[in-house]
Amino acid sequence: MFKKILKRTLIVLLIVFIAIQFIRPERNISDKPMPDHINKVYVVPEEVGKILKSSCYDCHSYNTYYPWYAEIQPVRWWLDEHIIDGKGDLNFDEFGTYSIRKQYRKMEEINDLVKKDEMPIPSYLWTHSEAKLSDQQKQLISGWVTAVRDTIKANYPPDSLLKKKIIP
């Protein structure tokens, strides 16, 4: 009796697994020009650009490189969830659309997360070990972020960079 139930359960699970392979979410790939990309707004040194591309853009832009295992559901759904969350937090392709306050704050967040080894996220590094940042790469990013923040500070009044306090 138990073997019969187990066999039926495995057959149903196999059918469901095969069926979900036909559900294909849209890929996060764009061939459109990105006029609001961060490198259109601020100077991004070549070395920093390479780091961003290899360690950040898969989740924080409109151009994700999909590895072979992204063709298998439910792995793809899991990856897409990370991409959606990543772009929701920071999208380098839309950086120029952010308010100056948000740009300034995002630069600070990049610096903090990189210094704390919270970016790239550990689950990304499981399959993308080349994205792990060396101390030298972290220093390059930190220096670049500081330069961008200094540029913003030099061109905008200080009160435009601070979160406004709401007084009840």
Residue with tokens 């019969």: 4
Mean pLDDT score, 18-32: 74
Region of poorest pLDDT, from 22-31, 81-90, 145-154, 158-167: 158-167
- In this predicted structure, what is the pLDDT of residue 166? 62
Distance of alpha carbon 11 from alpha carbon 5, whole angstroms = 10
Check whether 23 has a pLDDT greater than 90. Answer: no
Q: Percent of the chain scored above 70 by pLDDT?
A: 95
Q: Are 37 and 96 in contact (CB under 8 A)?
A: yes
Distance of alpha carbon 130 from alpha carbon 53, whole angstroms = 11
Q: What is the pLDDT of residues 63-122, one digit of tens each?
A: 888 888 777 888 788 888 888 899 999 999 999 999 999 999 999 999 999 999 999 888
Per-residue confidence at 167, pLDDT binned at 50, 70, 90? Answer: low
Check whether 160 has a pLDDT greater than 90. Answer: no
Give the H or E element holding residue 103. Answer: helix 100-115
Of residues 163 and 10, more confidence is placed in 10
Mean pLDDT score, 113-142: 90
Q: How far apart are the first and last CA of the chain?
A: 68
Of residues 165 and 2, more confidence is placed in 2
Q: Percent of the chain scored above 90 by pLDDT?
A: 48
- In this predicted structure, what is the pLDDT of residue 165? 59
Spatial CB neighbours of 125, under 8 Å, sequence gap ≥ 6: 131, 132
Mean pLDDT score, 146-160: 88
